[in-house]
Amino acid sequence: MTKNHDCSHIEHASIPTNIRKKTPKLVLAFNTSTDAMVFNEICNLGRIIPLPSKIRAGCGLAYSVSIEHESAVQELIKQHNIENYVMHTIEMYSTIS
């Protein structure tokens, strides 16, 4: 037999303010981990991430940045003569505040 308990005295957790949502991201895949780390030093708009399983590349690291920064990333690539990379746009989970 199941008893009904009065739980009115228990405070319920508030709705979380940070919710994970899939958003499009610009992901640069490199041939070597060194290339990925060098790009990370040049560009401070995103971050190094593990290579997403949807992408094949020479190393296990990639650089992820908001799609809104695509033109700035393209400019940095030109300025620093970055080669041996592939740029992808993929849906990735990110935290929405």
State residue 9's pLDDT score.
61
Return the SS3 of 81. Answer: coil
State residue 21's pLDDT score.
85
1, pLDDT greater than 60? no
State residue 57's pLDDT score.
80
- Euclidean distance between CA atoms 35 and 15, whole angstroms: 41
Domains of the chain: 23-96 (3.30.70)
Instruction: Report pLDDT digits (tens) over 31-85.
Output: 999 999 999 999 999 999 999 988 888 889 999 999 999 999 999 999 999 988 9
- Whole-Å CA distances, 65 to 3, 51, 68, 70, 79: 53, 13, 8, 8, 18
Of residues 49 and 96, more confidently modeled: 49
Confidence (pTM): 0.75
State residue 25's pLDDT score.
94
Return the SS3 of 57. Answer: coil
